[in-house]
Amino acid sequence: MNKIMYFIDLVSLSVSNLSRNKSRTFLTMLGIVIGVMSVILMLSIGQAAEQYILNQVSSFGSDLVIIRSGPGDGGTGAGPPTMTTKQVLTLKDYQALKKSKWVKNIGGTISSDYLVEHQNDSLIKRVSGVTEDEIIIFDMQLQQGRFINADDLNNSNRVVVLGAQVADDFFSESNPLGQKIKIQKNSYRVIGVMEKAGTRFFTNLDNQVYIPLTSLMRDFNKDRIMFLMIKISPKISIIEAKDRVRDLLRDRHNIDNPNNELEKDDFYVATQDDAAEKVGVIGTILQILLSSMAAISLIVGGVGIMNIMFVSVTERTREIGLRKAIGAQKKDILQQFLFEATIITLFGGIVGVLLGLGIGYVGILILQKTNSSEWSYTVPWLGVLLGLGVSSLIGLVFGFYPAKKASNLNAIEALRYE
């Protein structure tokens, strides 16, 4: 019972001392608030982004194989492609894979930003050269007209399918079907308009246009394909499909790789599970990096607390001397100043957690409204526990030295202090 009363008195005295100078206490706490808030905000947004990408990947189905240029998935290029990656996939690779009986659907893609014009309007839009199976592989829906077909590919027809936003930008008051638009001065006839689709991997599908892959390669002097996507037959497993892709492309690219050393390949084969694994690893690394950067503010806040506590010890030297003169022990003084530092950081941690959760939730709501995508908010419980735990620990660590100095003061000398 005495220990409980002692603890209550200790807390009450610490709160009373901190309340004497509310402005200084608030400013001392601010660094901790910002640090914890940043950690929570980074973790909540990071988790939401990771879950968003995983949902997008899983929506493609477990029978999808994606092929791109770069070292095989056992090499250093197993991450996302870079600007320096040598492009090696060709139209003949696409055609060879398309003839394989185990391939149900296959798509090839080249994407880049180009100037799109209609009459007096000109805008930069994402232009994607695609094949006829694009609409099937990604389960895309048409609003009107038709999509690119095999005849368009074989003849390199200058036809175009517009995203919903592009159609609205250029033809808000008229029917776009049959009308002409220019892409980098080349004239294309509009044959279809897509339904609103939102975003895929942070790309606004409504703000892009689709033309035949062969037309883009001819009109824009491209000889390499960025990505190949294959929907496999249910008669073979996804593992077997990956092996067949590797065997075929190694033969076509003259790669001697009898031991299946993936780093020797000049292409990368991935499935839904591979992509999900990579997303998880990248997401974890990114969250650790961002949280580490945010944690710097916690250290800065801790240094600020140490400075303020030193000032507090100096200002209250006579008070410390008086308490010691009437019987206070060194541990009583030490505990009092440690409690004051811990209360500042713990309360700052609580405020920081609440602000981080609130701002993160509002941020996700804004993303949901502006991107028309399935962003979901998840409370980063580990971040909450770490934020509160680390903030309290900082109070103890950075408050200990000033508290120790206060407890070591000589009672007589402290009473004489001016």
Q: Are residues 155 and 142 in contact, defined by beta-carbon separation less than 8 angstroms?
A: no
Distances (CA, A) of 248 to 42, 132, 310: 43, 22, 72
Distance from C-alpha of 171 to C-alpha of 186, rounded to nearest angstrom: 19
Average pLDDT across the chain, whole number: 80
Closest to 308 measured CA to CA, from 233, 392, 373, 395: 395
Is residue 123 helix, strand or coil? strand
Distance from C-alpha of 337 to C-alpha of 59, rounded to nearest angstrom: 56
Looking at the predicted structure, is the pLDDT value of residue 132 above 50? yes
Looking at the predicted structure, is the pLDDT value of residue 386 above 50? yes
CA angle at residue 259 from 256 to 264, to 5 degrees? 55
Is residue 254 helix, strand or coil? coil
Distances (CA, A) of 342 to 19, 130, 372, 395, 398: 15, 61, 44, 4, 9
DSSP 8-class letter at 377: -
Name residue 138's beta-bridge partners.
none
Q: Determine whether 237 is exposed, middle or buried from the number of CB atoms within 10 Å of its CB (0-12, 13-18, 19+).
A: exposed
Distances (CA, A) of 109 to 91, 366, 375, 393: 10, 31, 26, 53
Q: Are residues 81 and 73 in contact, defined by beta-carbon separation less than 8 angstroms?
A: no
Parse the chain into domains and list their residue ranges: 2-56+278-416, 89-265
Maximal CA-CA distance, the chain: 100
| 15-36 pLDDT per residue, tens | 666 666 677 777 777 878 887 8
Name residue 212's beta-bridge partners.
130
Rounded to the nearest 10 degrees, what angle do helices 330-371 and 2-19 cross at?
A: 70
Q: What is the pLDDT of residue 303?
A: 74
Mean pLDDT, range 399-410, rounded to an integer: 69
Mean pLDDT, range 103-126, rounded to an integer: 91
What is the pTM (predicted TM-score) of this model? 0.65
| 235-291 pLDDT per residue, tens | 888 889 998 999 999 999 998 888 887 888 888 888 877 766 776 676 677 667 766
| 341-356 pLDDT per residue, tens | 777 888 888 888 889 8
> What amino acid occupies position 251?
D
Which token pair is 81?
């492609």
